[in-house]
Amino acid sequence: MSQKSFCTFIAKTTRDKIENALLPFLSQTVEHDQVIDLQDIFSRLSFDMSCILSFGTDPGSLSMDLPVVPFARAVDDTSAALFSRLSSPAALWKLLKLLGIGQEKNLAKARVVGDRFIIEAIEKRKQEMNEGKHICPDMLSSYLSDEDVPNSNEFLRDNLDSFLTAGRDTTSSGLCWFFWALSQNKQTEEKILSELRSARHTITPKGLITFDPEELDNLVYFKAAFMESLRLFPPIPHNWKAVLKHDLLPCGFRVTPEMNIIVSIYAMGTMQKIWGEDCLEYKPERWISEKGTLRHEPSYKFMAFNTGPRTCLGKNMALTQMKMIAATMVYNFCFEVVEGHVVEPALSITLKMKNGLRVRIRKRTSI
């Protein structure tokens, strides 16, 4: 994932989606003075981007008419069923599975839809490679060109599925809470705008402004604003681990097989002991050192991307995508959360908003 060709592909995919799907959709929304749910828009955008990066197929879920895409629905149903398995006694979901009812019924159906979609993409790609056609440098191509990677459809399907699941809801959650934080902290938005004004940009044929990753790399305050929203609203709020064998934790607690350990990344992000008295405030400045550079916080303190051997492999990819999307949106448009809209977390594996994020958009005129 850190190969140069893949990083270039990430930037190109994100730029294409911003220019050809996100900007036209937002411009249309402004024209019709519509209220939209930003959470839904980000979820569609990151789903399309994840599918292109995984196996080169764009399901087009972020189109003008916001279509229902069965594969996207299947991914949502799977996530809801897995959360329900995690949060109820094992005997209950096993019984539901046996009877083929409830969330387990949805899960079984979702699996058929999801497997079919991914397997079709794998078979198409294998055929294209056999025919010597030009192929895009996505995850699937990189697996198929590596002789050490098994190339059975099942192995590839499971890997691509985890790649897709790991990247989709996390990136969209990160973006959604970032925009919520900005809506509550207008000075931060102003400071980001002033930094963006100093960055080189590209003008699209429709006269809108976009940014490439290299142009955003030097913007310290912008990155600090993202880290701060990831601290307060980590897209994966809880990290679950199952105990394999008897052990003694450093704190003196004995764990036994079949116990679960849940680390609340969400709670850690707002602990006074860890972040100080102003731990509940959204304050990008805490990430900026006296020299004006981005302050490094150890991963066992800032755990949004996990720590240790299972650290997130997509951290750089996610930050690249989120910054490109947010910079373009903030520079070209103003967002206002609809009055009376209640923002609260939903019960799910990723930190979603229960009621979405309903906003009204205007074109930004004073830049």
Q: Scan residues 236-275 and list those touching ligand HEM (CB under 6 A).
A: 236, 239
- Which residue lies nearer to ligand HEM by CB, 29 or 350? 350
What burial class does residue 42 get, using C-beta atoms within 10 Å of its C-beta: 0-12 exposed, 13-18 middle, 19+ buried? buried
52 touches ligand HEM (CB under 6 A): no
Please answer whether residues 60 and 363 qualify as being in contact, where contact means their C-beta atoms are separated by less than 8 angstroms: no
Q: Which residue is nearest to ligand HEM (CB)?
A: 314
Measure CA of the first residue to CA of the last residue in the chain; give whole Å. Answer: 36
317 touches ligand HEM (CB under 6 A): yes
Instruction: State how far the Cα of 17 lies from the Cα of 304, in Å rounded to an integer.
Output: 26
- From the CB of 111, what's the least distance to ligand HEM, in Å? 20
Instruction: State how far the Cα of 153 lies from the Cα of 340, in Å rounded to an integer.
Output: 49
Tokens found for residue 345: 């977390």
- From the CB of 178, what's the least distance to ligand HEM, in Å? 10
Cα 197–364–18 angle (5° rounding)?
Answer: 75
How many Å separate Cα 107 from the centre of its chain? Answer: 22
- Which residue lies nearer to ligand HEM by CB, 22 or 304? 304
What is the phi/psi pair of residue 336, to 5°?
Answer: -130, 125
Q: Scan residues 173-212 and list those touching ligand HEM (CB under 6 A).
A: 174
Q: Scan residues 144-173 and list those touching ligand HEM (CB under 6 A).
A: 163, 166-167, 170-171
82 touches ligand HEM (CB under 6 A): no
Q: Which stretch binds ligand HEM (CB under 6 A): 33-41, 58-66, 234-242, 338-346?
A: 234-242
Please answer whether residues 169 and 43 qualify as being in contact, where contact means their C-beta atoms are separated by less than 8 angstroms: yes
Instruction: Quote the DSSP letter at residue 32.
Output: T
- Which residue lies nearer to ligand HEM by CB, 164 or 330? 164
DSSP calls for 285-339? GGGB-TTSSBPP--TTTS-TT--GGG--TTHHHHHHHHHHHHHHHHHHEEEEEPT
Tokens found for residue 90: 């094992």
x/- mask, ligand HEM, residues 103-142, rule CB under 6 A, reads ----------------------------------------
Out of 313, 334, 337, 343, point to the residue binding ligand HEM (CB under 6 A). Answer: 313
Please answer whether residues 41 and 48 qualify as being in contact, where contact means their C-beta atoms are separated by less than 8 angstroms: no
Instruction: State how far the Cα of 41 lies from the Cα of 45, in Å rounded to an integer.
Output: 6
318 touches ligand HEM (CB under 6 A): yes
306 touches ligand HEM (CB under 6 A): yes
Contacts of 75 (CB under 8 A, 6+ apart): 47, 110, 114, 164, 165, 168
- From the CB of 120, what's the least distance to ligand HEM, in Å? 21
- Which residue lies nearer to ligand HEM by CB, 82 or 313? 313
324 touches ligand HEM (CB under 6 A): no
Q: Tokens 């699941």 identify what position?
A: 165
Please answer whether residues 101 and 130 qualify as being in contact, where contact means their C-beta atoms are separated by less than 8 angstroms: no
Instruction: Quote the DSSP letter at residue 284.
Output: G
- Which residue lies nearer to ligand HEM by CB, 143 or 208? 143
- From the CB of 319, what's the least distance to ligand HEM, in Å? 7
304 touches ligand HEM (CB under 6 A): yes
- From the CB of 311, what's the least distance to ligand HEM, in Å? 7
- Which residue lies nearer to ligand HEM by CB, 29 or 229? 229
Q: How many residues bind ligand HEM (CB under 6 A)?
A: 18
74 touches ligand HEM (CB under 6 A): no
Half-sphere exposure of 230 (CA within 13 A, CB side): 26
- From the CB of 151, what's the least distance to ligand HEM, in Å? 19
- Which residue lies nearer to ligand HEM by CB, 208 or 312? 312
Residues that bind ligand HEM in the complex, under the rule CB under 6 A: 163, 166-167, 170-171, 174, 235-236, 239, 304-306, 310, 312-314, 317-318
